[in-house]
Amino acid sequence: MTAWLYRVEGRWCVSLALETDVAYWREKGVDVTEGWRYRSVAQAMCEREALEKGKRRERGWMHVGFARGGVGGENVPVGLGAAMERGSLKKSAELWREWRPLLGGRSLLLSEVRRVLAIRWKGDDLSQQRILRVLQVGVLKGEVFLRSAVRTIGGQANWRCERCHAGRSRLVQTACARCGGTCYYCDECLLLGRSRACEPLLQIPMPAREEENTVQEAAGRERASSRNGTQAGTMSLTPAQRRAAERALAFVRDGKEPVLLLWAVTGAGKTEMTFAAVSHVLNRQGRVAVATPRKDVVNELTPRFRHAFPAVRIVKLHGESGETWLDGELVIATTHQLLRWYRTFDLIVVDEVDAFPYRHNESLQAGVRRALKETGQQLWLTATPPRSWQTAFRQGKLPGVTIPVRHHGHPLPEPYITLERRLWEKVLKKRQITALDQFLAHVQRVGGQAYLFVPSLSHVTPVLHWLSAHAPELRAAGVSSRDREREKKVQDFRDGEYDCLVTTTVLERGVTVSNAHVAILQADHPIWDEAALVQMSGRCGRSSSFPSGHVFWIAQEASREQSRALKHIRRMNREAWENGWLKAKDGR
C-alpha cells in the first residue's frame, strides 16, 4: 500500500496519510515542503534508513530494496500537501482517543485493525482513509509504532518478519498484486494472516490509564473472585503443590526475577499451583496470559481458569476459538496467538515450555517476550526441562522450584528396561517378542489400556499387524500427526473403545486415561531423548484410582538417553520420599 516519506525539522518521517502529517505540523507552525510517495511501506522504510545513515543523497536517489522495474518515489508538489490538509485533524485526534484503548496492547496488520474495530467499536465508518488518518495521529503522538510487516535489517539480503522475527529463510519472494512490485511475505506466521513487506505492522502499547480502566470495569467482583479462587486452590493443594504455589506467589509479589521455573513431574497438577500468582497479579489490576504450544491444552485449561476466576473476563485464543479480537484480563492462548500482542501482560505463564514447537522456535519465544510489558515476568511450567536448564537450576542460576510428586502421593512408575535382539526384524516378521507379550498380558489381566509408542509413522502399521497376529483379542488402533481421524480415535480410546493405541510421540502429552500402561518400542531410537522418554512414561499412573502401572522400555541396546531418563524419574521419586510426600515407596 502507499506510504509517504518526508522531511521535517531535520528528520525523516514515514506516513500512511500525508494529509494528517501536514495538518499536524502546520498546527505547530512547521511546513512540510516536499515528500515522496512509495507503493510499499518497506520501500519508504528502506529509504528512511538509508537517508538517516547518509547512504543516499537527499534528492534524486535510486530506490533500494526489493522493487523491480523502476518502481521508486515520486516527488509530491507542495500544493498537493496543502490540499490534503483540509481533512479534519481534530476529528481524527478525537477518534484516536476513542480507538486507543480498543487497540492498545496489540501488534496488528492494517487489515487486522479493521477487524478489531468492526467488532469492538460502535461507529460505522471504517473506510481505509479514515483508519489511516486516525492511526497516523497515533504515530505522530508516539502512541503507535509503525513498522513494515517485513523489512530489511542492515542490507537488502537481510530480511526479517517484524511480527514473528523469522529470518530470510522463512520469507517467500513473489509478485504482489497489492503493491505492483516484487514483494516478500512470511511463511513462518502465515496461519495468522499474510505478513507482507508492503503492508504496515502497527504496534500499539497499552496506555497505563486505559489499562486501568479496562480492568476496573469489574474490579470489585474480580478481587472477590480472585481471592475465592486462590483460597479454594490453596486449601486443596498437597504440601508439594503448596510449596510451589507459595514460591510462585512470592515471585510475582517481589517482581525482581524475570523468570521462574516450576519443574513438576507429569500429573503433578501444575495449573492449580499458578492460581495464587495469577490472582495476585489480577488483584493489583495487572493482566495475565497463559500460553501453551498446543490448542487442545488451551481448550483443557480454559474451563479450569473460568471455574477458579468466575468474575474475570477470560478470552480463549487459538485458530478455531472465534475469540481472536476480544479482550480480557486473563488470556489463555496458543503461543502463536501471542504474536498479535504487544507490551500487554504483567505475567505470562508458559505451560509445556519445553514442548514442540515452542522449545526450538525463536519466533514464538520472541513473541512471548514482546507480549510482556518491559517489567513483566514469565512463569515456566514443565515436567522435562532441557538439560541446560536443569544444570542452571541446580547451580542457582535459574530460579525455580521442583514438584517431585503427583497429586495422589504415589511415586512415578519406574520402567522395566528389556533388551531384545533384532527387535524390529521380529516385528516385521511377526515373531514372538517376550517382553511385549508380558506387557500385553498384564494389561489384559488388570483390565487396563495400553499406549504403544513407536518412533515414526512408518512403524505404526507393522506394529498393528504384529498385534493382530499375537494378540488378536485386543482392540487396537494406530494414530500419528498425519492421521485425519486422530481426534476421533483418541476420543474413542478415552471412552474405552480401544484397548491399545499404537502412536508416535504426538500423544506423549495431553491424552490421559485412568488405568493406563505404557510400552515404548525401540526405546533406544535416536529420535527419543530424555524428555520424550519421561513424557511418554508419564502417561502411566496419573489417576488416583490407578496410581501405579507398568512401563516397559523395549530396546535393542541400552542408550545414554534411557539412562538419563531413568535417573530423572528416580531422582524425582527420591526427592519426594526424602520430603515425606509419598504414601508408599516404590520397592524397585
For residue 404, the model assigns a pLDDT of: 98
Per-residue CA distances from 503 to 68, 458, 470, 500, 554 (Å):
50, 11, 18, 10, 15
Say which range, 127-136, 443-452, 479-488, has the weakest mean pLDDT. 479-488
Q: What is the CATH number of the domain that holds 376?
A: 3.40.50.300
CA distance linking residue 401 with residue 394, whole number of Å = 10
Q: Are 453 and 359 in a shared domain?
A: no
In a domain, residue 212? The reply is: no
pLDDT 10s digits, 155-176: 556 889 999 999 989 999 999 8
For residue 68, the model assigns a pLDDT of: 33
In a domain, residue 218? The reply is: no
For residue 366, which phi and psi values (nearest 5 degrees)? -65, -35
For residues 120-148, average pLDDT? 94
Give the whole-number percent of the chain exceeding pLDDT 70: 88
Q: Is the predicted pLDDT of residue 339 greater than 70, yes or no?
A: yes
In a domain, residue 219? The reply is: no
In a domain, residue 508? The reply is: yes
Q: Are 286 and 174 in a shared domain?
A: no
For residue 487, the model assigns a pLDDT of: 83
In a domain, residue 215? The reply is: no
For residue 155, the model assigns a pLDDT of: 58
* Enclosing domain of residue 173: 3-204
For residue 55, the model assigns a pLDDT of: 58
pTM of the model: 0.88
Q: Are 355 and 474 in a shared domain?
A: no
| 255, amino acid identity | G
Highest mean pLDDT among 73-87, 217-231, 247-261: 247-261
Give the whole-number percent of the chain exceeding pLDDT 90: 68
The residue that leads in pLDDT, 181 or 82, is 181
Q: Is the predicted pLDDT of residue 228 greater than 60, yes or no?
A: no
CA distance linking residue 75 with residue 287, whole number of Å = 46
In a domain, residue 409? The reply is: no
DSSP assignment letter at 196 = B
Residue 218 pLDDT level (bands cut at 50, 70, 90): very low
Q: Are 386 and 427 in a shared domain?
A: no
Outline where 66-165 has alpha helix (H): 78-84, 89-103, 110-120, 128-140
Q: Are 297 and 193 in a shared domain?
A: no
Outline where 309-397 has alpha helix (H): 362-371, 387-394
Per-residue CA distances from 119 to 111, 116, 122, 199 (Å):
13, 5, 8, 22
Which of 477, 507, 10, 34 lies closest to 21 in space, CA to CA? Answer: 34
Q: Are 149 and 241 in a shared domain?
A: no
Q: Are 386 and 469 in a shared domain?
A: no
Angular region, 155: left φ>0, alpha ψ -120 to 50, beta rest: left
Q: Are 18 and 145 in a shared domain?
A: yes
For residue 516, which phi and psi values (nearest 5 degrees)? -100, 145
CA distance linking residue 387 with residue 405, whole number of Å = 20
Last residue within a domain, chosen from 380, 403, 426 = 403
pLDDT 10s digits, 11-27: 899 999 998 998 999 88
8 Å CB contact between 515 and 370: no
Dig out the grid coordinates for 497 from the structure.
Answer: 473403545
Collapsed DSSP state (helix, strand, coil) of residue 22: helix
Residue 59 pLDDT level (bands cut at 50, 70, 90): very low
Last residue within a domain, chosen from 369, 403, 437 = 403
Q: Are 273 and 397 in a shared domain?
A: yes
Q: What is the pLDDT of the chain when averaged over all its residues?
A: 87
pLDDT 10s digits, 498-507: 999 999 887 7
For residues 359-384, average pLDDT? 94
For residue 110, the model assigns a pLDDT of: 95
Outline where 181-294 has alpha helix (H): 208-216, 219-235, 239-254, 270-273, 275-283
Q: State the total domains in the chain.
A: 3
Q: Is the predicted pLDDT of residue 105 greater than 70, yes or no?
A: yes
pLDDT 10s digits, 415-450: 999 999 999 999 999 999 999 999 999 999 999 999
141 contact partners, CB below 8 Å, separation of at least 6 = 96
In a domain, residue 396? The reply is: yes
Q: Is the predicted pLDDT of residue 221 greater than 70, yes or no?
A: no
For residue 70, the model assigns a pLDDT of: 33
Q: Are 307 and 343 in a shared domain?
A: yes
Q: Is the predicted pLDDT of residue 66 greater than 60, yes or no?
A: no
CA distance linking residue 539 with residue 448, whole number of Å = 13
Collapsed DSSP state (helix, strand, coil) of residue 569: helix
For residue 450, which phi and psi values (nearest 5 degrees)? -120, 135
Element (H, E) at 184: strand 182-186
Q: Are 272 and 175 in a shared domain?
A: no
Residue 248 pLDDT level (bands cut at 50, 70, 90): very high
For residue 157, the model assigns a pLDDT of: 64
500 contact partners, CB below 8 Å, separation of at least 6 = 440, 443, 449, 450, 451, 452, 467, 471, 474, 475, 476, 477
In a domain, residue 583? The reply is: no
Collapsed DSSP state (helix, strand, coil) of residue 453: strand
CA distance linking residue 328 with residue 45, whole number of Å = 34
For residues 198-223, average pLDDT? 65
The residue that leads in pLDDT, 585 or 137, is 137
Q: Is the predicted pLDDT of residue 356 greater than 60, yes or no?
A: yes
Q: Are 365 and 252 in a shared domain?
A: yes
